[in-house]
């Protein structure tokens, strides 16, 4: 089962990596963990992201994730997250933006929002 999960994660991270490589001035590097990558813009400081594949993300689910991540931020070091999804509503995009969560939508050729912390 672990091999299947790893293969799916590798496949999706490959798709995310290809999407990010389309952005001019953005360098994409493998992360230190299986579901992670690092980005740097115009040879600047490298930012590490945990990549979360969520093909369909409703505003309600995004709100729930934000609450969980805010609650867990007090007990663990803050991790930057990059949500890879097919499409987000404008309200969901605004919620993520307000909470400093990065995302990339499959329908676009470049990330709509990146936060390097």
What is the secondary structure of 7-58 as a DSSP string? HHHHHHHHHHHHHHHTSTTEEEEE-SSTTEEEEEETT---EEEEEEE-SB--
Mean pLDDT of 75-98: 84
| Domain covering 2-105 assigned CATH 3.30.1460 in the classification | no
Domain boundaries, the chain: 2-105
Query: Tell me: the pLDDT tens digits for 33-46?
Result: 888 888 888 888 88
Above 50 in pLDDT, residue 13?
yes
User: pLDDT class for 78, splitting at 50, 70, 90?
Assistant: low
74 Cα distance to chain centroid: 21
Query: Tell me: the pLDDT tens digits for 45-75?
Result: 888 888 888 888 999 999 999 999 888 765 5
Cβ atoms of 113 and 102 within 8 Å: the answer is: yes
Instruction: List the structure tokens of 107.
Output: 């329908």
Residues 39, 81: Cα–Cα separation, whole Å? 12
Mean pLDDT of 22-26: 79
């Amino acid at each position: 089962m672990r091999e299947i999960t790893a293969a799916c994660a590798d496949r999706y991270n490959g798709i995310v990596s290809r999407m990010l490589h389309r952005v001019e001035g953005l360098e994409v590097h493998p992360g230190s963990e299986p579901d992670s990558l690092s980005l740097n813009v115009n040879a600047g400081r490298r930012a590490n992201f945990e990549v979360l594949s969520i093909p369909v993300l409703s505003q309600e689910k995004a709100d729930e994730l934000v609450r969980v991540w805010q609650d867990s931020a007090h007990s663990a070091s803050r991790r930057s997250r990059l949500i890879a999804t097919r499409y987000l509503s404008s309200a969901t995009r605004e919620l993520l933006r307000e909470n400093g969560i990065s995302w990339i939508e499959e329908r676009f050729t470049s990330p709509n929002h990146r936060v390097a912390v």
